[in-house]
Amino acid sequence: MFTTRSLDHFVVYAQDLGLAAAAWRRLGFTVMPIMEHATIGTSNAVVQFARTYLELLGDLDHCRNERLQRNLRGCFPSFDGYYMTSFTSTHLEPDHAALKAAGIDIELPNGASRRVRLPAGGWIDTASRSMYAFNAERPRMSLFRSDHPRPEAIWIPDYQAHANSAIDVATVHYAARDVGQDVEFFAKMMDGAPAERGRDRVMFRTANGQSVEIHAVDAAGRRWPEFTGLQGDAPAHGIGLSIRVGSLAQARRVLGDGGVSHRAADRRIVVHPSHANGVFVEFVEENYQP
């Protein structure tokens, strides 16, 4: 069973965007120059993959979307961490009508355009848009959809070449005190039912072969000792990314060169959240199946 919507991008909030970009570069990722959202006012630094991207988000004081600013301030009073996941959309307006009809509290599309510096010089505007579905009771389980009228401004081959041989995100991992609490919400935002549903884990699988997994807190701690519990008083939030790489050996060399401590286990390399703004990074083999 697959969802209609695929993973688009992943938002990690950082109190200091410059330090965050440097941290991800030490992990072997190519991090784009810091850019400003022309309409929203926040800034970001992006790590591009084959079909998705990681967004390091900062400059909250400049945010002009009041609900987004309130949400972020409440979620991250003094620390960094995983914030939201975006799913694909070819056009947000019909999505908005369908999600409203399904009972989702969804905002109107917001301009999320940013000016991108091209590797060979010059600039291009992304013209991207986002549409937020804030989860009032569990803010860090909020989700959104995005459309990109100019995909050539989002996925640029030179920015997709990473020293650690990263290819794309395989899985985004959440932890929750109650793994079933937001399943219906995720199903509506992803357009599809879970592929697996159990007491300790719920897993959604996309048509692109990627997945979203919601783990019970204890189960997540057993699988990743690096995860030591939910942040603050949050009942649930994103905790990590599994990222496919062309070579685990190459990823490990880069981590060593960067002085980044890590754990190797069963065709995986796991980096502690302290090295990645509160998010564990799990490098997995290219043919890894979540």
Scanning the structure block, which residue is given the tokens 């959604």?
204
Average pLDDT estimate for 12-27: 96
Q: What is the C-alpha R_g of the chain?
A: 18
CA distance linking residue 281 with residue 243, whole number of Å: 7
pLDDT tens column, 176-203: 999 999 999 999 999 999 999 999 999 9
pLDDT tens column, 204-263: 999 999 999 999 999 999 999 999 999 999 999 999 999 999 999 999 999 999 999 999
Q: Provide the percentage of residues in the chain whose pLDDT is more than 90.
A: 82
Level-2 CATH architecture, domain 7-159: Roll (3.10)
Which H or E run includes 222? helix 217-223
pLDDT tens column, 34-89: 888 878 878 889 999 999 999 999 887 877 888 888 888 899 999 999 999 999 99
Sequence spans of domains, the chain = 7-159, 162-285
DSSP 45-112: EEEE-SS-EEEEEE-GGG---HHHHHHHHHH-SS--EEEEEEEE-S-HHHHHHHHHHTT---PPPEE-
pLDDT tens column, 155-176: 999 999 999 999 999 999 999 9
What is the structure's pLDDT at 290? 66
CA distance linking residue 26 with residue 118, whole number of Å: 22
Domains 7-159 and 162-285 share a fold: yes
Read off the pLDDT band of 283 (50, 70, 90): very high
Torsion of CA 33, 153, 27, 231, to 10 degrees: 90
Inter-residue contact 81 to 277 (CB < 8 Å): yes
Q: Measured at the alpha carbon of residue 288, what is the angle toward residues 287 and 290, in degrees to the nearest 5? A: 140
CA distance linking residue 19 with residue 22, whole number of Å: 5
pLDDT tens column, 78-127: 999 999 999 999 999 999 999 999 999 999 998 888 888 888 889 999 99
Scanning the structure block, which residue is given the tokens 């065709």?
267
Predicted structure pTM score: 0.96
Fold annotation for 162-285? 2,3-Dihydroxybiphenyl 1,2-Dioxygenase; domain 1 (3.10.180)
